[in-house]
Structure 1
Amino acid sequence: MAPPTDRDILPDTIKPLNYDLSLFNLELGGNWSYDGLVKIESKVKSDTQELVINTKELEIKDAQVLSKTTITSMTDVSYDKSDERATIKFSANIPSGDAVIAIKYKGTINNAMAGFYRSKYKPTVTPASTTPTDGEYHYMLSTQFEACEARRAFPCFDEPNLKASFEFEVEIPEDLVALSNMPEKSVTKGSKDGLKKVAFEKTPAMSTYLAAWAIGDFEYVEGFTERKYNGKNLPVRVYTTRGLKEQGRFALEHAHKTIDYFSDIFGIEYPLPKSDLLAVHEFAMGAMENWGLVTYRTTAVLFDEEKSDARFKNRVAYVVAHELAHQWFGNLVTMDWWNELWLNEGFATWVGWLAVDYLHPEWKVWSQFVAEAVQPALELDSLRASHPIEVPVRNALEVDQIFDHISYLKGSSIIRMLSNHLGQEVFLKGVGDYLKLHAYGNARTNDLWAALSAASDQDVQTFMDPWIRKIGFPVVAVAEEPGQISLRQSRFLTTGDVKPQEDETTWWIPVGLKTGTPAKVVHSALTAKEDTVRNVDDDFYKINADQSGFYRTNYPPQRLLKLGKAPDRLSIEDKIGLMGDATALAISGNGTTAALLSLLEGFKNEDDYLVWSQIATCLSKVRAVFADNKEISAGLKKFSLELFSPAAEAIGWEFPKDEEWLTGQLRKLLLAYAAGAGHQGIISEGKKKFAAWKAGDEKAIHQNLRGVIFNMAVANGGQDEYDTIKAEFRKTTSVDGKEICLQALGRSKSPDHAWDLLEFVMSEEVPPQDAHGGIAAVAGNNETRKVAWEFTKKNWQRIEKILGATNVVIERWIRVGLAKYSDAAIRDEIVDFFKDKNTAAFSRSLVIVSDTITSNANYKQRDEAQLLEWLKAHKYL
């Protein structure tokens, strides 16, 4: 079969079968270099005198090819830096058939959070004497190879469908620990005193981006699966640097239960002999699913029962489940090429939530999913700058920018919609069949649809194709007649200006009509641009029951008001969906802010955390857009205060023992939002607690209220409060403490403090992975937002130097820091500023920023006068 022409890939002359990789002469400090020898067992398709292989920042010293009959030596090597390839020329033709390519090379343990890299940390206890150090910082070493960074650690065929098995060994100081995908095979004496050589078992066939190793002063907590695998309970470990292992217990408990759960629902046992989770101190993403050795940023895997904010429980449980889902979906069966990244990420996101729901039904995670996955996905996908779920990727180096809300959140929302339509049991049976059929190989989207079609006896591909291959999603406009409604679908854009050529897709839309007393859900699908639904109860109906379809609904204004007054007939998901839709429709001009605020007033007696969380999200968006209009700002603040105060006053400050997790989250949210809207009683109580804590009473602030009270103190304080939290950032030992402090520092109303915070996140004291937390806090603050752009503009060279080593980190700075404006002049400035800059790592994000500001500016201009009138008429001004 000829290689696809739509991909820029390596020549298909040589196919790797097994990598035997050995690393030695690791210089742990100084220039951080190491030597490597990789022997690649390969199948040579046709005679060739040269080898083209992926490398990045490696120096190839020598190469030989050993075939059955000859040994052929390297005569020359040349590098193509832009394509990240090396071409090795040999003294004679490599004959077709089996061969071993042996390459000696030199590499660097970098500090760019990609490839084979080092992470610095301040130890909590005395580390092993050979732990690399430079003064107060110590180092651990680990890898991050997705998407195209394995080539930064060893010469390889770095494409997802060139699967091979891996054998790995490394020489390290005797008192350090080495980990890899598989269990240790042997530990032998090293080449000199004080060193040991650690070798690992051979892996199954897998993609290069899933290979992994780590070296450091590690310790672990261990548990075992309840199920037996090949007659044994599987060992599951959480590794940390010395002194932190006890904070891994929460993740450990979830990990072994999740492995058993997935083995059951997929009908395929976990395929490796062990499962390790490793906390990495500097980490660009949330986590990485390396087969058998999953790596995590510390806040995504560690949890301290005594000190951590309880919200991190939910995060740890979910991230652990997401990465373990990949052990099957992504690792056992891998997408054929990067354009189908969503197959990995969309599925792991959905099934990650499925596992958390199984372990914690009391958390109502599907309601959380509607708020935190469906809504952000709809928001990004309503921009012209969006992209289809399955996006063409010609060159793999472009792929970093599609690790976004479309691949993860829209992908998982579409899978949830399909699972709800087919029925979860049928859906999972189809997934299990797909995994069995393609195990240890690669697959494409249509392979999944084929398995699901066979399991369900429905033509899944036909109705899913537009959702995957077309950009955007529909809004369904509802028109009422007695006893029936007519529905019309069209593409939704947040800018409200869809052109006819942008509105040619007809989506398959599950209508999910909830109607009658008691309410029942009637399932049907809208498969044309328009249709009529009969037998509708005029008293009550809602379409898209439980928000299982990925679309917006535009009701007549009176119906929206009526729905807001019937909260008892709506599920939590319904309420979240209604508010999300009303906000988006106000922004696009299909609805109004007045209609949105009237809807929100109907929920003031609500007692559910996730509904209040959505109310806060909607109001924060509106308040940000109109922040420069002082009169409207004051009116919206009063509206927020009146809406939140009764619930905040009722819930109080105390956390009773054994309280439900969601109630604790609700308390934090209500107190924080009421304080943000100016509730003087709550602010003064918060200040009192802060003063007692500052005076040395550590128990004055409950661990779950650190964020709320720190935010309150800084927002309503001055230099002293700001300096206190900055000092707390430097000394906190809690795993989430630094994140909480950065957010709090961004609450100051002083532009000087905002500038200082951005200087601070650019300093050595804050790891680059956390820099975006600073700019997100400044940009999210209505008083200091302008500083985010001013600082970026004036310090661009420094930002590029410090954050630019890792695409993900610099892209995040742009995306979270510059999209909150409602001013077309700032948009034009941003576009103009980046015209002559290298924007390869964040070009897509710049278009998103531009589109978002455009829609905010249009919305502000269109709704300003009417909103002001409504606030006056309803006595908020």
Structure 2
Amino acid sequence: MGKGFYISKGVAVGGVVVAVAALSTIIALSVVYSQERSKTNGSDGEATVGPTNAPPTPPPSNEPWDQYRLPTHLVPENYTVMLWPRLTPDPDTGLYIFTGESTVEFECVEETDLILIHSNKLNYTSLENGQLARLTSKSPQTAPSITQSWLQTVTQYLVLRLNSKLVKGQRYQLYTKFTGELADDLGGFYRSEYFEGTEKKVIATTQMQATDARKSFPCFDEPAMKAYFFITLRHDVDKVALSNGAAVETTTVTVDGVTVQQTVFERTEKMSTYLLAFIVCDYGYVNSTTGGVLIRIFARKPAIDAGQGDYALSITGPILKFFENYYNSSYPLPKSDQIAIPDFNAGAMENWGLITYRETALLYDPEFSSNSNRERIATIIAHELAHMWFGNLVTLRWWNDLWLNEGFASYVEYLGADDAEPTWNVKDLMVLNDVHRVFAVDALASSHPLSSKEEDIQKPEQISELFDAITYSKGASVLRMLSDFLTEEVFTRGLQSYLKEFAFGSTVYTDLWKHLQTAVQETGTDLPANIDAIMNTWVLQMGFPVVTIDTVTGVVSQQHFLLDPDSVTPPPSPYNYEWIVPIRWMKTGAVQPPRWLQAKSETVNEMKTTGTDWVLANLNVVGYYRVNYDTANWNKLLNALSVDHLIIPVINRAQLVDDSFNLARAKIIPTVQALDTTKYLDKERDYMPWKSAINNLDFFYLMFDRTEVYGPMQTYLNTKVAPLFQYYKEQTGDWANVPGGHLDQYNQVNAISMACKTGLAECTALVKSWFSDWMTTGTNRIHANLRTTVYCNAIAAGGVAEWNFAWSKFEEATIAIEADKLRYALSCTKEPWLLNRYLEYTLDPVKIRKQDATSTIVYIAENVIGQSLAWDFIRARWSYIFNEYGGGSFSFSNLISGVTKRFSTEFELQQLRQFKEDNAAVGFGSGTLAVDQAIEKTQANIKWVGENKNNVLNWFEGANTP
């Protein structure tokens, strides 16, 4: 699944279902819906029943149906599933529903008189003897009879008790007929809506990962329970039906007096339930064929007609070919469909053969899309295509190993995108986007290891919590480090044999280590220890080290890096917070042979220096650790930046800034020493060091934009960014042209954004004039690269007229990427009442789509005027937000961390603790850990401000003095 956006999950709730007559199907759904929206009841022509002869739901017990993991008695072989989504609401109730029939064929591998199969929010038609399912045998021997059937709603099972045991080695078939709501909750089988002109269009689509296939049909919904799927969809005659397999037959049928089309799909490969997809829509597409594989890009017809699918189509084939070579394995399916969904809470989802995307992650329009939008499309497509082998062909056995699946795709997405767009240098950006990003989380005492114990990940909400920055970005970072010290040749050799052995099966992460170790031995690669010994220090303990190099003594040491060293003691570690650390380094600009640090400290005589020589470690930041030096070496590095910054590699210039600011926050070096790394920035023209500085200075803004430090800080930073602003003014012919390089285009945005932020009058006048021209003439001449920052700064400098104009353009926007730019910019206003009104809009899905609600609130909180408003807003409405947007929604961790990241006072800490206490009964779902981390970060911020405010103020005032 694409990182950065997360899937919404419905709250699992139970309840008694009432038996009703056939004609009252929709009425029953309506009654229950009005009582509790997350319960639906209905049938498809027969009586709808709930618990049949079932005891009341008991408290949690040791009974199998009260355990969250399936027993191992039954193994599915194949499913035959027919689904019929209704894309028009019932005129009486307004409800959208779907009906379905499913037959699962399974083998009994251990005798049992109990069948447990996952089911959530489905309502079953009464079959023989009033039971919820029909069991038949594939052998001459008669199947046992079902004596009891009920829905165990907490653990999400359909439970079937039998009058005798199933026979080991025999195959059986289980048939069910059911009804569900085609809700707008973005999980399972759900609906998405959009407008073409004034006509509302409805799509039936899916999002199964991690545990929502069970909302679509009863299934053994665990990743290792792979099976073949025969899917059939019924749909209106003017719609298109899509699924994982290719459509093999479409016929017209009449069901209950209604004429519909019925599309039958070819059998899938053996696969996990979470990778299933079924879609019914009124879409267009563009297509091509690469190496015999049919590639299609589906989207709204106006988007396809406007050519917005063309870029994705142009790079999908090359990226597929890249991964075929990388994995030494042909793409395992005959087609690769990719489709843009208007309402989609993830960035994308790697359904095998039918990948779903947010519109902003797939559709590209040169007029409206910036180069960052284009890069995002390339990397997300590469991420999802990487999963076609790693994750889909070979699947991790259980969710505790999710980090390897998502971390791997988050690493190789840069390789795939780099192959498609080789001039971008996109691989370098992983340091900013992933390594530095996750350092901030993994430096907390409340972080967690990459790999969890299988028994600790049981409930759906526990699984949801794993979709975080540690899983994606730390996973990617340590795998990049592993590939570097093995070499890419050895890494891919082990990877290829791993995929070959486990194709269509499931694994644990140590299976990959075994294959990599074999590759190491076959190639004679020299390592200080076995792969598992090295990597377990990175996988089985949280956090990362700071490596300290004393260039006077040559002593190289490591310690667990904690952003707040006085925070709560981290939990015990199996490796006592020591790592086996690969060190790539240089001395005074000359690259040296790599080293390993295998103990708490070692003496490396080669790292001693004399005179003006200096040492720089972690070249290109391929290692997952920070680096500190003795004061003399730091001063030499700062001098090198001042005299000739180009002698230091560009990634390491970004590293020096990032490491120093974070070492200062951890009290390892003085804060003013970190600020010294910014002195050379008036000479810096490269993107990565500037972006690193801006990212770190954002923390200073968060801590000081409500204090007397703000003014002197603004003055200083203005003097640093002004030369960059003038540089791009000259390079672009007074802003008439676009810089040639991909990263230069990014840095032009930095120049304008930072210049306006620090109050450069010329910048403010520039963005206001561009925005005013748009308002006056109706023609938007602002380049797509610059729109986000221009819109934001113009709205911030303007008033009601600018905000209302932007809102009208947001409402009119038919291109999701343009709508996203405006949605962010609307949060930049300095008018509190406009921000409050905007917050209210987030609870109206007609104004702000559900998928965008939490990120919009976070945008508002990033505004110093809006932060307290957003905090008050979510505190007052937490119960509603939590339940309406899904208790398992992955975006809740982002919401909580985003709204609280400015917290730096005792009063805010008290409010945060009270918020946790007041909502204990409601819960925080996947944001549970984020609440604790917010408390920890706030405590650290309070101490940091108290200890550094005066020194920082004095430093800025001194730097501003001629």
User: What's the TM-score once normalised by structure 1's chain length?
Assistant: 0.94
Which residue of 422, 430, 451 maps to 2:486? 422
Corresponding residue number in structure 2 for 1:774: 856
In 2, distance between residues paired with 1:530 and 1:358?
40
Q: Is residue 851 from structure 1 mapped to residue 936 from structure 2 by the alignment?
A: yes
In 2, distance between residues paired with 1:384 and 1:556?
26
In 2, distance between residues paired with 1:748 and 1:657?
28
1:231-259 CA distance string (max 9 Å, x none):
xx211111112211221111111111111
In 2, distance between residues paired with 1:596 and 1:494?
15
In 1, distance between residues paired with 2:572 and 2:799?
50
Which residue of 579, 586, 595 maps to 1:514? 586
1:832-876 CA distance string (max 9 Å, x none):
222233223321111121122222222111111111121222226
SS at match of 1:701: coil
Query: Within 5 A, what are the aligned runs for 1:615-654?
Result: 615-629=693-707, 631-652=708-729, 654=735
Q: Is residue 688 from structure 1 mapped to residue 769 from structure 2 by the alignment?
A: yes
| CA 468–678 in structure 1, closer or farther in 2 if over 3 Å, else same | same
- State whether residues 702 and 901 of structure 2, in contact with CA within 8 Å, keep that contact through their aligned partners in structure 1: no
In 1, distance between residues paired with 2:596 and 2:343?
47
| CA 410–454 in structure 1, closer or farther in 2 if over 3 Å, else same | same
Corresponding residue number in structure 2 for 1:16: 76
Which stretch of the first structure deviates more once superposed, 832-841 or 639-648? 832-841
Query: Within 5 A, what are the aligned runs for 1:353-432?
Result: 353-392=414-453, 393-397=456-460, 398-432=462-496
1 or 2 for the larger relative contact order (CA 8 Å, sep ≥6)?
2
Q: Is residue 235 from structure 1 mapped to residue 273 from structure 2 by the alignment?
A: no
Corresponding residue number in structure 2 for 1:130: none
Structure 1 position 490, deviation (Å): 0.7
Structure 1 position 173, deviation (Å): 0.8
1:285-310 CA distance string (max 9 Å, x none):
10000000000011011111122222
Structure 1 position 716, deviation (Å): 1.2
1:138-170 CA distance string (max 9 Å, x none):
211111000000001000000111111111001
- State whether residues 68 and 155 of structure 2, in contact with CA within 8 Å, keep that contact through their aligned partners in structure 1: no
Corresponding residue number in structure 2 for 1:798: 880
Structure 1 position 49, deviation (Å): 3.2
- State whether residues 716 and 960 of structure 2, in contact with CA within 8 Å, keep that contact through their aligned partners in structure 1: no
In 1, distance between residues paired with 2:897 and 2:849?
18
| CA 586–502 in structure 1, closer or farther in 2 if over 3 Å, else same | farther
| CA 663–102 in structure 1, closer or farther in 2 if over 3 Å, else same | same
Corresponding residue number in structure 2 for 1:129: none
Structure 1 position 422, deviation (Å): 0.5
1:442-492 CA distance string (max 9 Å, x none):
1111101111111012511100001001011111122231xx521211101
Identity %: 29
SS at match of 1:695: helix
- State whether residues 150 and 160 of structure 2, in contact with CA within 8 Å, keep that contact through their aligned partners in structure 1: yes
Corresponding residue number in structure 1 for 2:512: 448
Q: Is residue 216 from structure 1 mapped to residue 281 from structure 2 by the alignment?
A: yes
In 1, distance between residues paired with 2:533 and 2:79?
41
In 2, distance between residues paired with 1:595 and 1:556?
12
Structure 1 position 564, deviation (Å): 3.2
| CA 810–258 in structure 1, closer or farther in 2 if over 3 Å, else same | same
**Counterpart amino acid of 1:369?**
M
In 2, distance between residues paired with 1:110 and 1:390?
34
Which residue of 834, 843, 863 maps to 1:762? 843
SS at match of 1:698: coil
Query: Within 5 A, what are the aligned runs for 1:122-141?
Result: 122-123=195-196, 137-141=200-204
SS at match of 2:201: strand
In 1, distance between residues paired with 2:402 and 2:570?
30
Corresponding residue number in structure 1 for 2:142: 70
Corresponding residue number in structure 2 for 1:150: 213
Which residue of 488, 491, 513 maps to 2:560? 491
SS at match of 1:339: helix
In 1, distance between residues paired with 2:217 and 2:570?
50
SS at match of 2:683: coil
- State whether residues 635 and 876 of structure 1, in contact with CA within 8 Å, keep that contact through their aligned partners in structure 2: no
Structure 2, unpaired ranges of 5+: 1-63, 126-131, 522-526
Corresponding residue number in structure 2 for 1:127: none
| CA 27–772 in structure 1, closer or farther in 2 if over 3 Å, else same | closer
Structure 1 position 63, deviation (Å): 1.6
In 1, distance between residues paired with 2:513 and 2:570?
30
Q: Is residue 270 from structure 1 mapped to residue 335 from structure 2 by the alignment?
A: no
In 2, distance between residues paired with 1:23 and 1:726?
39
* RMSD of aligned alpha carbons: 2.1
SS at match of 2:637: helix
Structure 1 position 268, deviation (Å): 0.7
Corresponding residue number in structure 1 for 2:303: 244
Structure 1 position 819, deviation (Å): 2.6
Q: Is residue 195 from structure 1 mapped to residue 260 from structure 2 by the alignment?
A: yes
Structure 1 position 71, deviation (Å): 4.9
Give the number of equivalent residue pairs: 854
In 1, distance between residues paired with 2:606 and 2:923?
58
SS at match of 2:254: coil
Query: Within 5 A, what are the aligned runs for 1:569-584?
Result: 569-584=647-662
SS at match of 2:592: strand
| CA 667–52 in structure 1, closer or farther in 2 if over 3 Å, else same | same
In 2, distance between residues paired with 1:114 and 1:582?
43
Which residue of 824, 829, 847 maps to 2:911? 829
| CA 649–788 in structure 1, closer or farther in 2 if over 3 Å, else same | same
- State whether residues 377 and 406 of structure 1, in contact with CA within 8 Å, keep that contact through their aligned partners in structure 2: yes
| CA 186–501 in structure 1, closer or farther in 2 if over 3 Å, else same | closer
User: What's the TM-score once normalised by structure 2's chain length?
Assistant: 0.86
Corresponding residue number in structure 2 for 1:108: 181
In 1, distance between residues paired with 2:175 and 2:239?
28
Structure 1 position 501, deviation (Å): 7.0
Structure 1 position 72, deviation (Å): 4.9
SS at match of 1:86: strand
SS at match of 2:696: helix
**Counterpart amino acid of 2:288?**
G
SS at match of 2:604: strand
Which residue of 604, 607, 627 maps to 1:533? 604
Corresponding residue number in structure 2 for 1:675: 756
Which residue of 686, 696, 700 maps to 1:608? 686
